[in-house]
Structure 1
Amino acid sequence: MKSSCEKFLILSVGVVLLITACSTRKNTLVSRNYHNLTAYYNYYFNGNKSYLKGVEKAENTYPLNYTNLLPVFTFGNKQMAGSLAGDMDRAVKKGSALIARHSLTVKPKPKSGILSKKYRAFYNQNEFCAWVPEAYLLIGKASVYSNDFDKAQQTFDFMFTQYPNNPILFEAKLWNARIEALLGRYEQSQEMLRSLETDKKLPEELKPELNFSFADLNIKRKSYREAIPYLEKAMEYRWHKSKRIRLTYLLGQLYEKVGQIEQSISYFKRVTRMNPPYETAFNAQIKLANLFQEGQKGKDLRKLLYKMAKDDKNIEYLDLVYYALSRIDLAEGNKNAAIENLTISVSKSVSNDFQKGLSSTTLADLYFERPNYIMAQAYYDTAVSVIDENYPDYAQVKLKADNLTELITNLRIVSHQDSLQRVALMSEPDRNALIAELIVRVQEEEQQKRKEEEEQRFNTSLYQQQQASQNLAGQQGGKWYFYNSATLGVGLSEFQMLWGKRKLEDNWRRKNKGISALIVTEQNDEVKEQAIAVQKVALSNKSREFYLLDLPLSDSAMKASISKVESSLIKAAEVYQNKMKDYPAAIKLYEEFAQRFQSSENLVAVYFNLYQLSKANNDNSRTTKYRDLLVTRFPNSPFAMAISNPDYLNTMKRQLAEEENGYQTIYTLVSNNQYAEAERLLTAAVTRYPKSNLMPKYDLLMAICKGGPGNLGDYRNALVEVSKKHPDTEEGKQATEMVAALNKLELKLTLGGNTESTSPKTDASKLSITYTDSDGEQYFMVVITNKMDLNRVKFNLVSFNLDNYINDNLNIASSQLNQSFNQIVVDVFPNKAKALDYYQRIKTQPDLFLNATAEECTFFLISKENYALFVAEKNIQNYLIFFKQYYK
């Protein structure tokens, strides 16, 4: 009995002690040991295990793009963050649960007597569970891998304030610096790393991680030379195999970036000896081939690359293989072979946009040097379609593509229109014979295409049958197609047979998306050509009418075709001259223009361009020829004067400066409402400088002067004239906006309120035109804006009259009151009383006037005599004052 009581007592004490230890309200030796033990084994151990599992997964599966520098770290990638979400979320949850259940912040009962320094430090700390700071660090690191940088930094900032003396802060600061680098805040990151570097208390195990961080920061800042020693120093430690391979490859890339080719080759060779994954080994071999300069090794590398090209495992990498072969060709000075290999590289590129862009720009550069601008344009345009702003020299590649597109577009217009003109000028029998040949050629091509398609369908069908029979036994019965790996494999193989390997993107069926910009550029927006295009779609390309539609067979069509050639020749020559600096090509086109278009108004400018280009090329005979042509044929042109009079340009500069000063004076006068003096100076300026570039500005200021005294009619008319005369200038557009603003102002002034809400502020007897009160014949008058449906309002009034005044024989007429308003007149009422009855009945039915606002519509009565005065003045506000006073 006694023994049982003792056992019960001991058990009870144990339970009490356990409950006491579980509490975070008391801080004792027992409670601290309990929380440290359970925090580690129940939470931190499992959370850290999930974190390390995620880190290992990131190291082994990080998506590496070998055309760019490989990463130092395997975090900061959105795609990777998604695949690590499960492990990192579990780490965060375990860390958060540890903090919630085992954070021990209450102070222990202080000892009596003199306290040691060590005890005071222990007593003053903010956390008494050793694993809570570790949990915060775990949450921060896992958040970085999850790309939740805000949460990570908030966690680290909390640690900095709560645990200022805890050694764990070194690692927290290191991770915080890495986040700053990821976010592009390089100065802040460097400052944090420097602070850690100079801290003598930095733990030894963090020094290689610090070096990795310095290397990563310098790479992000493109300071590649500074990154190398940090990375090499960090690599002295033993690391996981995948990490060591990746960083060794990165060192090879960095040495290549700084031009130290021997060291780069050494590191890439080291990669090949590390038994790396196939893709890494392949890219290292490609790098070694690309780094080849000259010598006997070229034969060995070429042999290796051809062997790689034949290996089915390398189908996805053929663009890299043939690009490497082109590098060897260029090193040996064989540009023709390089062009062949680069062409294959571009055609074989499936998913590597960077490599396709690199191969395309290299190929385009080679064609540009020849020069073969048509092929150069095609490949620059292909490059632009697959690269983005992050590509090296993107702006330069884009500029070349745009310039060449403009050039080729105009050259093709010239060639196309010349061909059409030649056919149009043939005799009808010859023309019909040519068209017949074209139709036969089309029929033969279509027949050949049908034959090839039938063969392909047969082969595809045969392949499907073979695959189906081979996989029938292994297919998983009852599964939907997209869950069945066997049927999916057959479908993929069939797709690749038909289309090849295609990148997952829009418009994947289009063979050459790069030429789309050129096609768009060539489109003509003229209505006539659109109509022709519609007709051609409806016609068969095996009918004669299909080919006749484009031909300029009429005089007007031939004239339009010749005009296109004239315009495009000049545009193409200007691209050669101003954008590509190909002066011989520019001279050739300008001379063709001069020969073909002797009566063109552009001939004088063409002669001057030929004079300047010949002079720049030190071609004395051509320089003399075009100088003489300018002086003799166009003696009064500015070009001839500039050649004949050495001081002509200085004189023109002085004249322009004088004119500009005069314009500023006029502008100031207009701004100060001194319209009369401004108008006088404007008239003189227009007379003195009839061909001035400032003419749109002069005309706009003149219009403002006309409106200054308050004459809205003249003001509007002058502004409309400016907008018509200079439609494509800033002044013309401004005039259009001013007319619109003026119309709005007139609406407010004219229809500021309807006849019911408008109260006369002026006595009718004081109006400029004297209206007389009359009991005789009256009209009912409606004024609406020209934006309202006039015919609809008239129809409504006719219906109203038929329903209510069918015996009164009322007529309805409409006309334009001014540029902004229309008027409708209902006549005739025999007297004022009859008219007022009509007015009172109609004002209760706003739907007759389409429920227009007071600013859109007003109506009133007016006598036959006063109507004649109103039409002469056309001032609605004046008459409404009279109406309110005398029609009550």
Structure 2
Amino acid sequence: GQQKNKEIFNAYLLLIESRIYQGKLSSALEAISQVYQTMPKDKRLPLAKIYEGLIYSKMKNNIRAEEIFYDLDKNYTLTKQQKAVMSVYQAENLLYSNRKKEAIDHLEKAFVLNKPRQTKSRIAYLRGQILAELGNMEEARESFVTAYKYSNDFELEVKAQIEIAKTFNNDKDYEEAKKYLENISKKGTYASRKNEFYYALGLLAAKTGKENEANEFFQKSLREQISDPHIRGMAYYEIGNSHFKKSDYIKAGAYYDSAVSVIEHAPTKDKIKELSTNIKNISKNYYLIKKNDSILALTKMSENELNDFFQKHINELKEKEEKIELAKRKEKKKKELENFFSYDNSSDFKGFEDNFSSQKGNKFYFANEITVAKGSNEFRKIWQNRMLSDNWRYGEDNKLSGSLDDLENEALGRTTADARRFEVAFYTEKIPKEKKAILGLKKERDSASLELGRMYETYFQNTPLATKTLYDLVDNQPEKGIKLQALYLIFSMNHEKTPNQAERAKNIIIQEFPDTPYAIFVKNPRNTNFTESEEEVKKIYQEAYALYNEEKYKEAQNIVNQAVEKYPKDALIPKFELLNAFIIGRSESKEKMISSLQQIVLNYERTNEGKKAKEILDFLVPSKKKEADETKNKDTENKEQNPEPETTENETDIISINESETSVKIEEIPQEKPKEKPKEEQKKQKPTKLERPVQSWEKQYLD
């Protein structure tokens, strides 16, 4: 029945609000449904409907949310308070839909409708952030100034001041903003937020191209007391970025890890975590290339050149170590003098105040600089320099972690401390001399370069850097297989965006690898920017598929070829190509099917059909390593006692595949039609017929 107690409506509203806050959105919708059923005539129903729009917005059903807000605006008489609430949620929904310009208009409306100062301040702050993202710095600055004026929250006041400074973007503005922020950070309660002001100054300096100054401000931000974990994490992130730009991947990764450990905002944390993982993968290849390049360069030097090179290195090492030792001695003397003229509470000698004053000194350990210095020295004696991280005693693989420089030295294979480090022979005897070992180093280096180029494109979409890395590899004359892969990657990355970069790769492939599928691909690469599939094309595909199912391969192939020619940009083209490969497998030969699948992999690598073609290829054409392993594991004695019947080359390819290693069954792969056997054998053994209408593997790949 209907509810007449008006207070029940308020109770339902509290329930709805609490469930929204807890993230129980479906339960909140159920509560709203109960309100509609039990109190259909209540004047406050529009408020429940506003909450319904908010819930759909949070559920990412932005279209449904917009329909609700539109209905409220047109068909309901809303109070001023209801309009104020709805305007904020409507703007939020538009932001979720990435319609930022429309969201700005609604926020302006929300600013007028909402009366509380704090709400006005937050609306103005949000509007300023959106305008800054859109590049409207003047308007953004005005909005942040408004947020600052209306704010009665110290935290928002500080954030608004920082955002005001960040809207300046030239040298003149930078100097003014810098002066303003440095002055304000010294005033009263603002001093507790120095780390945030320094972070903002770092961003300003970076924006005006002052990289070194920016880095100094970010470092200062880290040294100050933490007031906002997110700002601390972002300071680590920015320093990591500066190291990344210099290709100092070990330090970049370390700072990204520090950022991840501090930041609490999940999307930002996940983004930096992924970046950190990618950096570590790049770092592994980058430093391997640098190390092997150094060794290979040494193998080309004469004995005299090597002696001169390492003698110079030894002299520099001695000079460096002498400076470090001198600095240590000076530090030791300084500490001894400090100890001589300073007396702590544990000393036997006590001055007048110690003996006769009732006041006692500060016994807190970290308040006494001398005890802290002693403790730090003792710590270093046992543990050396440690990075602040989880499980700091042990790093990866149970090895003690060292400083960032130690990690870099380890990656590059440098010797940090050894009794023989001042002998030339200590270095020269480690240089490989055998041709096999030198070729092994070069192959390892070339493989790492190929992976590095691929990673630059995959992880960071940095096509110019990826192209340069791969062309450097090609110029270094690697093995044919690696060279072909590098040239193919260069061409596939550039042929649509920058054809002039792809042209050289194309010409080398055609000249040096004319009989490969790659040569066919570079001569006629397919366009992968497909349009949405039309209904007519879908019907054509279904018709071709039905004919294939009926074993009318010629008719099916004609329809496929016509469709590919008539609708080259349709989204179903990769599907047509895959169907054509299966038709070839059924009607012609396994070799031709393999060639067709290879073209699909090259042309449509990132589509589902490209991935499916790759999976079938891996099954049909086992790798050399896999074949070698299987050959090695054969029982030769059994083979002699029970010789296997002779098989054709194609049959052997299929038999040698380990069925458990693939999701596609052996008997379900299209094979060549077997040769006709003599009539006498046909009488003894009936030919096995392929089941129809359609095989399970065909459904898996062609549906």
TM-score range, shorter chain: 0.5 to 0.7
Distance 1:223 1:648 in 2: 41
Aligned to 2:449: 572
Q: Which runs of 5+ in 1 are unaligned?
A: 1-124, 477-485, 632-636, 669-691, 705-710, 720-725, 742-888
Question: For the structure 1 residues 503 and 446, does the alpha-carbon distance in structure 2 shift closer, same or farther, using more than 3 Å as the test?
Answer: closer
Query: Secondary structure of the residue that 1:273 maps to in structure 2?
Result: helix
Aligned to 1:581: 464
Distance 1:649 1:238 in 2: 62
| Alignment equivalent of 1:560, drawn from 426, 434, 437 | 437
Q: Which amino acid in structure 2 is aligned with residue 132 of structure 1?
A: I
| Alignment equivalent of 1:356, drawn from 235, 238, 261 | 235
Aligned to 2:105: 229
Aligned to 2:532: none
Contact 2:88 2:107 in 1 (8 A): yes
Cα deviation for residue 235 of structure 1 reads 2.0
Tell me if 1:734 matches 2:658.
Answer: yes
Distance 2:49 2:387 in 1: 42
5 Å-filtered alignment, 1:134-533, equals 134-149=10-25, 151-237=27-113, 239-274=115-150, 276-294=152-170, 296-308=172-184, 312-327=191-206, 330=208, 335=209, 337-342=210-215, 344-345=217-218, 348-349=221-222, 351=229, 352=231, 355-356=234-235, 359-360=238-239, 363=242, 367=245, 372=246, 374-375=247-248, 379=252, 382-383=255-256, 386=259, 390-391=267-268, 401=279, 405=283, 408-418=286-296, 438=317, 441-442=320-321, 445=324, 448=327, 506=390
Cα deviation 1:459-514 (Å, max 9, x = unaligned) = 89989979xx99x97999xxxxxxxxx96996999999989xx9997368999x99
Which has the larger displacement, 186-195 or 243-252?
A: 186-195
Cα deviation 1:613-654 (Å, max 9, x = unaligned) = 9x99989xx98xx99xx99xxxxx9707589xx999889x9x
Query: Secondary structure of the residue that 2:418 maps to in structure 1?
Result: coil
Cα deviation for residue 434 of structure 1 reads 6.2
Q: Which amino acid in structure 1 is aligned with residue 204 of structure 2?
A: L
Distance 2:126 2:486 in 1: 58
Contact 1:417 1:565 in 2 (8 A): no
| Alignment equivalent of 2:5, drawn from 119, 129, 146 | 129
Query: Secondary structure of the residue that 1:567 maps to in structure 2?
Result: helix
Cα deviation for residue 391 of structure 1 reads 4.5
Query: Secondary structure of the residue that 1:140 maps to in structure 2?
Result: helix
Distance 1:463 1:218 in 2: 67
5 Å-filtered alignment, 1:104-115, equals none
Contact 2:62 2:93 in 1 (8 A): yes
5 Å-filtered alignment, 1:690-705, equals 696=622
Query: Secondary structure of the residue that 2:267 maps to in structure 1?
Result: coil
Contact 1:421 1:558 in 2 (8 A): no
Question: For the structure 1 residues 283 and 463, does the alpha-carbon distance in structure 2 shift closer, same or farther, using more than 3 Å as the test?
Answer: farther
Distance 1:505 1:248 in 2: 39
Query: Secondary structure of the residue that 1:259 maps to in structure 2?
Result: coil
Q: Which runs of 5+ in 2 are unaligned?
A: 347-352, 380-385, 396-400, 458-462, 527-579, 592-617, 631-636, 646-651, 666-703
5 Å-filtered alignment, 1:540-551, equals 541-544=418-421
Count of residues in Structure 1 that have an aligned counterpart in Structure 2: 518
Cα deviation for residue 209 of structure 1 reads 1.0
Query: Secondary structure of the residue that 2:92 maps to in structure 1?
Result: helix
Question: For the structure 1 residues 737 and 179, does the alpha-carbon distance in structure 2 shift closer, same or farther, using more than 3 Å as the test?
Answer: closer
Distance 2:368 2:520 in 1: 79
Distance 1:693 1:219 in 2: 47
Distance 1:604 1:505 in 2: 41
Contact 2:233 2:258 in 1 (8 A): no
Cα deviation 1:565-620 (Å, max 9, x = unaligned) = 453156437745984434666555654x35xx9xx77898699899999x99989x
Distance 1:566 1:162 in 2: 76
Question: For the structure 1 residues 216 and 434, does the alpha-carbon distance in structure 2 shift closer, same or farther, using more than 3 Å as the test?
Answer: closer
Contact 2:240 2:251 in 1 (8 A): no
Q: Which amino acid in structure 2 is aligned with residue 506 of structure 1?
A: D
Question: For the structure 1 residues 575 and 228, does the alpha-carbon distance in structure 2 shift closer, same or farther, using more than 3 Å as the test?
Answer: same
Q: Which amino acid in structure 2 is aligned with residue 563 of structure 1?
A: G
Distance 2:28 2:6 in 1: 20
Q: Which amino acid in structure 2 is aligned with residue 321 of structure 1?
A: A
Cα deviation 1:765-799 (Å, max 9, x = unaligned) = xxxxxxxxxxxxxxxxxxxxxxxxxxxxxxxxxxx
Question: For the structure 1 residues 444 and 237, does the alpha-carbon distance in structure 2 shift closer, same or farther, using more than 3 Å as the test?
Answer: same
Query: Secondary structure of the residue that 1:390 maps to in structure 2?
Result: helix
Q: Which amino acid in structure 2 is aligned with residue 177 of structure 1?
A: G
Query: Secondary structure of the residue that 1:222 maps to in structure 2?
Result: coil
Q: Which amino acid in structure 2 is aligned with residue 193 of structure 1?
A: F
Q: Which amino acid in structure 2 is aligned with residue 696 of structure 1?
A: P
Q: Which amino acid in structure 2 is aligned with residue 409 of structure 1?
A: Y
5 Å-filtered alignment, 1:623-638, equals none
Contact 2:50 2:69 in 1 (8 A): yes
Cα deviation for residue 247 of structure 1 reads 1.9
Contact 1:361 1:383 in 2 (8 A): yes
Contact 1:214 1:230 in 2 (8 A): yes
Contact 1:384 1:398 in 2 (8 A): yes
Distance 2:252 2:204 in 1: 19
Cα deviation for residue 208 of structure 1 reads 0.9
Contact 1:325 1:338 in 2 (8 A): no
Contact 2:19 2:25 in 1 (8 A): yes
Which has the larger displacement, 183-192 or 207-216?
A: 183-192
Q: Which amino acid in structure 1 is aligned with residue 444 of structure 2?
A: S
Cα deviation for residue 210 of structure 1 reads 1.3
Distance 2:91 2:49 in 1: 16
Q: Which amino acid in structure 2 is aligned with residue 157 of structure 1?
A: S
Normalising by structure 1, we get a TM-score of: 0.44
Contact 2:166 2:200 in 1 (8 A): no
5 Å-filtered alignment, 1:62-73, equals none
Distance 1:560 1:548 in 2: 19
Cα deviation for residue 240 of structure 1 reads 3.2
Q: Which amino acid in structure 1 is aligned with residue 287 of structure 2?
A: T
Query: Secondary structure of the residue that 1:506 maps to in structure 2?
Result: coil
Question: For the structure 1 residues 140 and 300, does the alpha-carbon distance in structure 2 shift closer, same or farther, using more than 3 Å as the test?
Answer: same
Normalising by structure 2, we get a TM-score of: 0.54
Cα deviation for residue 269 of structure 1 reads 1.7
Q: Which amino acid in structure 1 is aligned with residue 464 of structure 2?
A: K
Question: For the structure 1 residues 299 and 169, does the alpha-carbon distance in structure 2 shift closer, same or farther, using more than 3 Å as the test?
Answer: same
Distance 2:660 2:437 in 1: 31
Cα deviation for residue 733 of structure 1 reads 7.0
RMSD, matched Cα: 6.6
Cα deviation for residue 158 of structure 1 reads 2.1
Distance 2:27 2:298 in 1: 68
Cα deviation for residue 214 of structure 1 reads 0.8
